[in-house]
A and B are shown apart, each in its own frame.
Chain A
Amino acid sequence: MRFAIAALLLLLQDPLSDGDFRELHARLVPGADEKWQTIPWKTDLLEARALAAKEGKPVFLWSMNGHPLGCT
């Protein structure tokens, strides 16, 4: 019930204020220091393969429907 009332108020209120904008933007944009971002991901399969051949390493490929780094 409380959520329904809050939702209704949100809909009826004026468009986002400057203060709302700043607070929301800061809350939504994550920092660049999340652990998964410290992994040096390549986004091109053949580039990764060529680098692996040069460095004498195997490739680890994370393949998803929807790009793992940029979607969902």
Chain B
Amino acid sequence: MWDRASTFADDRVIELLRTKFVPAAVDCWYLDRAKDAAGEFYKKVVSQRQPFEPGKRSTQGFYAFAPDGTLLRGWNNRNVPRMREYLENALKDFKPAESEDLDKSRDPRFARTPPDGAIVVDVYSKILEAEWPPTDDEMIKPLRVSTGRDHLWILKDEIGSLAAGKFPERLLRRIARFHLIDNTRGEPPMWTPAEVKDLSLELKEGRVSGRAKMDAGDRTFEAGLAGVVEFRDGKLARFDLVSRGIFGGEGQFTKNAPKGKFTLGIAFTLSKGGESAKVAPQAARDLRGYLAP
């Protein structure tokens, strides 16, 4: 979220990436583990920057490399002038050359595509009101206004239930456990089934209303839900949902939360497609748990 607001909002960085590179973005959790050509190629690239030691060293970072896997520059610093410098230096060292084709088949344990007939929903989160302690830290300030992003998958049979005027219980649990979360500052902890204390939602004549309450002891969220579900010509044409409530606490990777409770808003809307819609839900790392919460 910090990078989107800063590093990749710089005009020179954008120009370089649009015209001189093929830019790609990945979740290293999958590539660190995948036993396929993509995973092996990824390891080949990143291990030129530092030894590949999963569990000990993160492979997070920025990598400029030739198609044959030769690393031109590897770094993990979001400083914009440094980004420009490293990109320009990578270009100076780059020499186009032949590279072999690689097998595109994927390790099925880590391949993630929506199940047949599923629909992708964009999910956005934002802290709406909070008491923030004063800070001069320029790395923290953007996190206070950042938008968290994720995707929700609605499965084919769940779409059928919605069409019949019933909000499926499984979908509601998926929303509550994996999407009514604070991901505005990093990878969020999800709610376990036992931490969902109260969950109710009614779908009536296309209008959704409900409430949710989750409590993990050191994290809590109590929220109202409202929305609209519409079908046209037998297809789901609109799935607009919002949640607004009071959140407390933070996770291991979502530090620097406001002090005390704060108002968190979350919105859902049908994805318009495109490359980013291919990104699997964060919680789909445990695919079975995500599809059957």
Contacts and interface: CB of A to CB of B under 8 A. Distances in A.
Given A16-B226, A61-B62, A7 B261 contact: yes
A67 B31 CA distance: 11
Most buried by A among B11, B23, B58, B272: B23
Interface string B201-233: 000000101110000000000101111100000
A67 B28 CA distance: 8
Contacts of A57: 20-22, 94, 96
B188 interface: yes
A62 B257 CA distance: 25
A37 B5 CA distance: 11
A42 B23 CA distance: 6
Contacts of A16: 209, 224-226, 242, 244
Interface stretch (B134-142, B146-154, B155-163, B169-177): B146-154
B78 to A, nearest CB: 10
A28 B124 contact: yes
B186 to A, nearest CB: 5
B180 interface: no
Interface in B222-251: 222, 224-228, 240, 242, 244-246
A69 B226 CA distance: 26
A6 B267 CA distance: 21
A46 B269 contact: no
B263 A21 contact: no
Interface string B255-283: 00000110101110100100110111110
Interface residues of A, number: 57
Interface string A41-70: 111111111111101111111111111111
Contact of B226 (A15, A47, A48): A15
A71 B183 contact: yes
Contacts of B261: 3-4, 7
Given A52-B66, A57-B21, A59-B63, 16 more contacts: A10-B246, A15-B226, A16-B244, A28-B124, A28-B126, A39-B14, A40-B23, A42-B275, A43-B25, A48-B24, A49-B22, A49-B41, A60-B87, A67-B27, A71-B282, A72-B150
Interface of A: 3-4, 6-7, 10-11, 15-18, 20-21, 24-25, 27-30, 32, 34-53, 55-72
30 contacts: A3-B130, A7-B246, A7-B263, A15-B210, A15-B225, A24-B267, A28-B266, A39-B17, A39-B18, A40-B23, A40-B275, A41-B25, A42-B23, A43-B24, A44-B38, A47-B24, A51-B22, A57-B96, A58-B20, A60-B87, A61-B62, A61-B65, A62-B25, A63-B26, A66-B187, A68-B27, A69-B25, A70-B149, A70-B282, A71-B281
